[in-house]
Amino acid sequence: MTAEEFDVLICGSGSAGLCAAIWLARYGIRFRMLEARDGPLRIGQADGVQCRTVEIFESLGIADALLKESYHVMEIAFWSACSKESEGESGQAGIQRDYLGPDTEPGLSHQPHVILNQARVNEIMMDEVVRLSGNQNNVEYGRRVRHVIVVKEAEEHVQVSLKLPYVKVTAEDKDGKSRVYRAQYVLACDGAHSTVRKSLGFQMQGESSDTNWGVMDVFVNTDFPDIRKKAIIKSQHGSIILIPREGDQLVRFYVELPPSTTQPSDLEPLKQRVSQVFQPYHMQIVDTAWWSTYSIGQRLADRFHDSMRVFLTGDACHTHSPKAGQGMNVSLQDGYNIGWKLGRVLTGRAPESLLETYQWGPEDHDHAS
């Protein structure tokens, strides 16, 4: 193979791409990841690691660090608006706890639901990719994919060692310089705004509008009794998901913004909404470690592959509300699913028809791995 040819090209180095890469490295498959960012994810984004995902980490032999460093979610609380006025806040409705109980159904799994920054989750997987492959350079950073096409007839004046059909990918660096890659298979792990999906002409179907969210990792001074429990708060002022973070003090707030609200350009509107939602409890944000805003809708791609050569994974083919905590977890399971299947096909341990099992519909979206 030439330097630009690979068995598998992974567009994106997030949860789906990294989990697939672990399997490819295990099978000794020649692969490369193209990542638009200048380097690994450092902070923010997803944090909830569901029981099934912890089981996957266990099956890959990398659960120890995850379990040691994470916050273990044992209980969940639900709060709603109460009818009586808050003390000292005339005319302002307060909140009341409706439920406090186990976070997961008893007997669901032998592993817990845990919380750990996605940057660290990705790092754990990347360390395993490097260990298995013996290669520190599995990712090319600063490479933004611009065009993807399945090549079904021999290209003129181009010699390749890949069998038809194969995939041709054009990527661009930060200086605008283009480079062409060819691979037997391509995985689209490049997120909700996937260039690969758009290049193939696939459409996302589902909710017609996005929901706006603010998210912040903060240190707080509060008398709210469930500050170190996962909590869903729905008041007359809006809704918030509270997630205790690893360590003893950091917490995350997912703040749902009204549909007509434009995404705030500074933190103050989010702080004000947090204060309002938690009334009558005192909720002072002392320091902010990180914050962001984003828009998301629940949608599903109309197709999940092109010619069994390009496969969509993660947010590239399904997007979720943060209320369900599915995004990173389902993405990682997609990578696990397609990764082991490609490994077996490319090493001759399974027929190519195995790849046909990597497709599903809206009715069975949470597919088995």
pLDDT, tens digit (0-9, with 9 covering 90-100), for 229-282: 999 999 999 999 999 998 889 999 999 888 766 667 789 989 999 999 999 999
pLDDT, tens digit (0-9, with 9 covering 90-100), for 135-173: 999 999 999 999 999 999 999 989 999 999 999 999 999
Cβ-count burial 164-193 (b if 16+ within 10 Å, e if not): eebbbbebbeeeeeeeebbbbbbbbbbbbe
Pick the catalytic residue: 27, 32, 47, 217? 47
Across all residues in the chain, what is the average pLDDT? 91
CATH 3.30.9.10 intervals, the chain: 75-111+210-296
259 part of the active site: no
Bond prior to 165 in cis (omega within 30° of 0): yes
280 part of the active site: no
Q: What angle do CA 327, 331, 332 make, to 5 degrees?
A: 120
pLDDT at 87: 46
* Rounded Cα gap, residues 175 and 190, in angstroms: 20
CATH topology of domain 5-56+116-207+298-364: FAD/NAD(P)-binding domain (3.50.50)
Pick the catalytic residue: 32, 52, 143, 245? 245
47 part of the active site: yes
The first and second tokens of residue 338, run together, are 């397609």
37 φ/ψ angles, rounded to the nearest 5 degrees? -65, 160
pTM of the model: 0.90
pLDDT at 89: 47
pLDDT at 92: 57
Q: Which of 232, 217, 214, 218 lies closest to 295, judged by CA?
A: 214
Pick the catalytic residue: 190, 315, 322, 334? 322
Q: Which residues contact 68 (CB under 8 A, 6 or more apart)?
A: none
Rg (CA), the chain: 22
130 φ/ψ angles, rounded to the nearest 5 degrees? -65, -40
Q: Which of 6, 23, 30, 49 lies closest to 338, judged by CA?
A: 23
Q: How far is CA 76 from CA 66, 242, 275, 280, in A?
A: 21, 10, 21, 20
147 φ/ψ angles, rounded to the nearest 5 degrees? -155, 140
Pick the catalytic residue: 254, 281, 336, 358? 254
Instruction: Name 179's bridge partners.
Output: 171
Spans of the chain below 50 pLDDT: 86-90, 361-369
pLDDT at 46: 78
pLDDT at 326: 77
CATH 3.50.50.60 intervals, the chain: 5-56+116-207+298-364
322 part of the active site: yes
Strand order in the sheet with 251-256: 89-102, 75-86, 230-235, 238-244, 251-256, 211-222, 283-296
The first and second tokens of residue 144, run together, are 């933004």
Match domain 75-111+210-296 to its CATH number in 3.40.640.10, 3.30.9.10, 3.30.450.20, 3.40.50.1370.
3.30.9.10
